[in-house]
Homo-oligomer: A and B are copies of this chain.
Amino acid sequence: MSGRDPKRPSAAVTLQDVAGKAGVSVASVSRVLNNSGRVSVKLQRRIEAAVADLGYVPHGAAQALASRRSKTIGAVIPTLENPNFAIGIEAFQRYLNNTGYMLLLASSNYDIAQEMLQVRTLVGRGVDGVMLVGHMHDNALYPFLDEKDIPFVNTWSLDPQQDTPAIGFDNKQAVIDLVNYLLDIGHRHFGVIAGLTTANDRAKARVDGVREALAERGLSLAQEMLIERPYKILDGQMALRELLKLSNSPTAVICGNDLLAFGAMLECNRQGKSIPGDISIAGFDDLDFAAHLSPSLTTVRVPADEIGAKAAEFLMSRILNEPVLPVTEIGVNLIVRASTGPPSR
């Protein structure tokens, strides 16, 4: 007796069905569902009852097609295997959910081309905004997004030169602070175990930070003192082993992140080197475990959840055409713990 199509026994309930059941037009149903436009209380009640009765669920694609808004936001991160990004994305998606938006997630595996591809796909899926990590992207990225007029935001880094929307911090400066602290307590021989800098501007900026801080004091980083590795514990361990083989091995090793630092510490233990007696180790990120290693790890605290939440907030504001500052600097702090101390030589 209702208008259900007999050919599709379990077809989805549509607006039309609801309208039929409530004895009103689809327009009115749409109005109460989006509570846009005036609708009499009477109709409203009837419609709400019908919606509940039928268990109506709006058809997202149809809504998106008609309204030209998908209520969906895309994010492309290097990988969720890095706890930092996992935490950031968790906060990001939590914020979005509270505003009725959903998260379409993709990872680039630290590959610029892959990232571009993911962004294209995301845009094809109609995302209303895009979150990116870093500011090193494919050349076609910004023009592409601009042309489609899709708001985006870079995260985890801040490029003072650019006016690109970003929620992040100055990776270089953070490392400069760290190195200055190490210099101040007497270190002169530095080693660096960095992330892969090829497609990772954060990793690159951190290395630059070391160089700049050293240069300021008339020092420099020898070629062999810099080792680039993926962000894994074992890579840190192997890298430190190489560093220790050097004739003039460093008294302080700065690691691209806490995972690398953890690995480096393991190798010190294995080789009977005391930390920080023989060698100081510093990390980056302040992951949960950093405070609990022995010795506890000196590192730079990066509030990943704050970055995620603020990025979501920024995009939502842009989408809703609310005024927002294009760039937000996130505070990061040097956390001096027990893994660093004055050099013994």
Contact = CB atoms under 8 A, between A and B. Distances in A.
Nearest to A83: B83
Interface in A94-130: 94, 97, 102-107, 118, 120-126
Given A61-B65, A65-B65, A294-B269, A107 B123 contact: no
Interface string A59-74: 1111011000010100
Interface stretch (A84-92, A153-161, A244-252, A321-329): A84-92
B125 A102 contact: yes
B90 A107 contact: yes
Interface of A: 10, 12, 55, 57-62, 64-65, 70, 72, 79-81, 83, 86-87, 89-90, 93-94, 97, 102-107, 118, 120-126, 147-149, 232-233, 259, 262-263, 266, 269, 288-289, 292, 294
Contacts of A12: 148
A233 B124 CA distance: 41
A93 B85 CA distance: 15
Given A93-B107, A105-B93, A60 B292 contact: no
Given A86-B83, A126-B60, A269-B294, A10 B147 contact: yes
A12 B118 CA distance: 18
Contacts of A121: 102
Nearest to A149: B10
A124 B10 contact: no
A76 to B, nearest CB: 11
Nearest to A77: B90
Contact of A65 (B59, B288, B292): B59
Nearest to A144: B55
A308 to B, nearest CB: 10
A194 B81 CA distance: 24
A259 to B, nearest CB: 8
A93 B77 CA distance: 12
A266 B293 CA distance: 9
A294 to B, nearest CB: 7
B72 A81 contact: no
